[in-house]
A and B are shown apart, each in its own frame.
Chain A
Amino acid sequence: MGFREYRVGSILFGVALSSSMVITMYMPSLDISGVSSTATALEKQLTYGRNSGFTYGDLFLHGADKPVKVILKKNPVTGAKMDETAAYVFTAGTSFPSGLKHDNILGEKVQALSVSMGKMDQAAEATGGVFLVSSKVTNGVETPYVEFATATRGWGVDATLNAASETILAGAGKTMFVREGCWWCHTLLPEQTHDWQSFGRPPVLGDFNGESPTTFGSDRKAPDLLHVASRNSSVEWMTLHFFNPRLVQPHSIMPRYDYLWGPKDKAGNDIDLAKWDEEFVAYRDGESVYPPEVPEYADDSEIRYLMDFVMNLK
């Protein structure tokens, strides 16, 4: 080397690159980290758990290590009737999302309320527990917070699971959404400038706190799904569509997801995809009048997870 100009150049290079990083990494991260969680962000964290991609708890993305969302119509302890309430059950050992583990994720006010009102600080991964998303109005401003119902109301994990009128495995479903690459074509991001009529309200700044990965997608080859279950709440239609989209939407280019049904259907019978395909081709070519029946999926099948995730997008 030995040239003064290269020494100067190297220093300038370092200065230029570092200041670029300060402006594009450090400053935005300060700004974004200061954002307060919305109720949506709290619900998403409690539904999806720690991480929906590759993690220690779920190396092969089978949807393990995830909380369970349940709908309660009666109090799990007393059995008394109550308004429909969504509760998020973390069985012992299930990893907590970032917001429950670190005090800088939820935003100052939400964090303070979650501790003072919600007793969130008493929760531990090793013992698990039941969580709710609650809110408090102060001076006309509603602030959501995480409530650790096991501490505040005495709701145990088993009691809550037993009292559930509906069990939604959307946490495991989001792992399927990531693994199967749904987000390569379906965005979860209605755009601010349009999309309001077709796809509904765009997300706001605080809707993502603690969620990872956000998978809102960049390339839209298919409809946005952020509020899909509000547009189409038919489980039957969705089931047919997942099995073979061409059954309900002849021009669709979506791949079939029939293999997510697994080897057995709900009644325990074997699923023969090759035979199904033969019958479908016959139907498509006009040789038979009716398409083959789509098997009912088993409760622990991967398609059930994915269905629960999609039907939970409201």
Chain B
Amino acid sequence: MIKYLFAKEKDIPGGTAAIFFSFSAIMWFIIGTGIGSFNAAKLAFPDWFTHLYALQFGHMRQVHVHAVIFGWIVGAFAASAMYVVPQLGNTKLWSEKLGVWNCMLWNVGLALGLATLWFGMTSGREYSDFIWPIDLFIALAMVLPLFINIFMSIVTRRTQGIYTTNWFFAGSFFMLIIVFLIGNAPEFFHLTGLNEAYMTWWFAHNVLGLLITPVAAAITYYIVPKVTGNPLYSHRVGHLHFWSIVVFYSTPAAHHLMSSPLPEWLKSFASVEGVLILVPAVAYVCNILLTMQGKWAMFVENVEIKYTITGVLLATPLNMQGGFQQTRAINWYVHGTGWIVAHAHLALLGFSTFAEAAAVYYGIQTIARRKLYSLSLANFHFWMLLIGFSLYWVSMTIAGLIQGAGKIYEVPYMDIVIAEHPYMIVRWLGGTMVFLGNFVWLYNMYMTVKVGEKLPEGLQPQDIAYAR
């Protein structure tokens, strides 16, 4: 990587930035899930590993969250965008060098940010925990170059129209900058009270709604037609998806604070808008699943489609939960329980991670022009991820329902903790499976780049058979 930082633009092979981003994203995924697994162990067995004070739960929880969100999720988005956008535009990345620098600054900034959080330097606001100097660094040195690179690659494309995937890439990275700067404004300008609390959740909501969900969807809009060879079922439904994301997904931030004393009109408005999130959600899922017509055998036979469609199928319960759990009728029962933790992992570890894993699998093969090293290892990784995630999701959902019942019947809190104990153990096992599976993945990807079968000229990875 170092040698490309100071190389001339023309000397840097196409796809370098995407490869760097892919591998650093996998690394952060391993680090993030490793910390997550450790945290889960602490919740199941609090006196395990007693004297490692450096790994206190209260310090490590936010390190897990941000390593996974910024390192893995957004890192893999960057990796995907950096090879998908040029391919869709029949062109090269606007600046491969900027991409390489972007990846370097990304890793440095994130490492710095996580170190400060670990050290206890925090703004004390969930999801915008980073202290404001780090926030500024993220916005200006990490996200802004990414947006410029992607946007300029779209502008300098050599095709006529702009495909659905690219609407989302361009729109979402642009909105991320705005969301990030406005969402962290309470720190820059020292806003206080409920304004600060509301803006904290405005940020948390929009970082998911305007970045993670739409970009994960954008990836599947690319992978499914590309790998199956089917055209996208409906461009128009794609329009509906895009515009309803912008209109409906950007407004319900207050539904995260349904039990706090915010103005009632705001909570009611957010709740109604929150149900309307089902519009883009249903449009999207139908569009992708209908694109699969006649190619469902690939769901079993092809690794990328297996990951992508699993992600899309997981988006169905995700959206149904998301649309309804924030209404007053349901929120009072599940608010602040493990149910929400399960839902958050369904969005990030379920839907997004599966979609992105597909993009990384496919991207590394197409950029390196080599076929996947091992189908068996990829399948092993798939099942570790899916079973691990399912254990996590089911156990936390049950724990959340127990907690909700305990909450509304005002059961002594200790009894709830005791009742949740078995589910805390299962969640730890599930998280650990995900963590361990990722090592296999890293090995498989490394071997693909090194010794994978070379793709013949003019063929794509899905066109030739798996070697092992």
Residues of A within 8 A of B (CB): 1, 3, 6, 12-13, 16-17, 20-21, 23-25, 28-29, 31-33, 35, 41, 50-54, 59-61, 97-98, 105, 178-184, 187, 189, 191-195, 197-198, 202-205, 207-223, 245-246, 249, 251-256, 259, 273-274, 277
Q: In the bound complex, do residue B196 and residue A179 qualify as a contact, i.e. CB atoms below 8 Å apart?
A: no
Q: B54: shortest Cβ distance to chain A, in Å? A: 10
> Complex formed: what's the CA distance from A205 to B197 in Å?
12
- Asked whether any CB of chain A lies closer than 8 Å to the CB of B457, the reply is no
A57 CB to closest chain B CB, in angstroms?
A: 12
B57 and A255 form a contact (CB under 8 A): yes
B407 cross-chain contacts in A, Cβ below 8 A:
191, 194-195, 220
**Does B202 have its Cβ within 8 Å of any Cβ on chain A?**
yes
Q: What is the bound-complex CA distance between A16 and B182, given in angstroms?
A: 17
Bound complex: CA A246 to CA B46 (Å): 9
In the complex, chain A residues whose CB is within 8 Å of the CB of B155 = 1
Closest to A221 in B: B43
Cβ of A227 to closest chain B Cβ, rounded Å: 14
The interface of chain B, by Cβ under 8 A from chain A, is 42-44, 46-47, 50-51, 53, 56-59, 61-62, 119-126, 131-132, 155, 161-162, 171, 175, 178, 182, 186-187, 190-200, 202, 243, 246-247, 250-251, 253-254, 256, 259-263, 265-266, 269-270, 332, 335-337, 340-341, 403, 407-408, 410, 412-414, 417-418, 421, 424
A147 to B122, CA, bound (A): 32
Top 4 closest A-B pairs, CB basis?
Answer: A181-B58, A213-B124, A53-B124, A178-B124
The DSSP consensus for interface residues of chain B is: helix
Name the residue of chain A whose CB is nearest to the CB of B185. A25
Q: Contact: A105 with B193, CB < 8 Å?
A: yes
Tell me the bound Cα distance from A253 to B424 in angstroms: 10
Nearest CB to that of B167 among chain A residues? A9
Cα separation A27 to B198 with both chains bound (whole Å): 12
**11 sampled A-B residue pairs with Cβ under 8 A:** A13-B171, A21-B250, A25-B202, A35-B194, A184-B61, A192-B261, A193-B259, A205-B194, A209-B194, A211-B192, A212-B192
The answer to whether A189 and B193 have CB atoms under 8 Å apart is: no
Determine whether the beta carbon of A277 is less than 8 Å from that of B121: no
Nearest-Cβ distance from residue B114 to partner chain A, whole angstroms: 14
Chain A residue at minimal CB-CB distance from B125: A213
Contact (Cβ within 8 A) B132 A28: no
> Are A13 and B202 within 8 A (Cβ)?
no
List, in ascending order, chain B residues with CB within 8 A of A274's CB: 51
Report yes or no: A215 in contact with B335, Cβ–Cβ below 8 A.
no
Task: Give the residues in chain A near B259, CB-CB below 8 Å.
Answer: 189, 191-193, 202
Task: Name the A residues within 8 Å of B332 (CB-CB).
Answer: 191, 193-194
Extra contacts besides A17-B246, A255-B57 (10): CB < 8 Å: A23-B269, A195-B410, A204-B261, A205-B194, A205-B262, A209-B194, A214-B197, A249-B414, A254-B46, A255-B58
Q: Give A207 to B155 CA distance when docked, in angstroms.
A: 50
Give B117 Cβ to nearest chain A Cβ, in Å.
10
A181, B62: Cβ atoms under 8 Å?
yes
How many whole Å from A37's CB to the nearest CB in chain B? 9
Chain A minimum-CB-distance residue to B134: A54
Rounded to whole angstroms, the CA-CA distance of A17 and B125 in the bound complex is 24
What residues of A have a CB within 8 angstroms of the CB of B175 in the complex? 17
CB distance from A251 to the nearest CB of B (A): 5
With a cutoff of 8 Å between Cβ atoms, the chain B residues found around residue A256 in the complex are 46-47, 50
CB-CB < 8 A to B59: which residues of A?
180-181
Minimum CB–CB distance for A288 against chain B, Å? 17
CB distance from B259 to the nearest CB of A (A): 4
The residues of B that contact A97 with a CB separation of less than 8 Å are: 192
- Report the bound CA distance from A3 to B157 in whole Å: 13
Contact flag A31-B413 (CB < 8 Å), given A13-B246, A41-B193, A273-B51: no
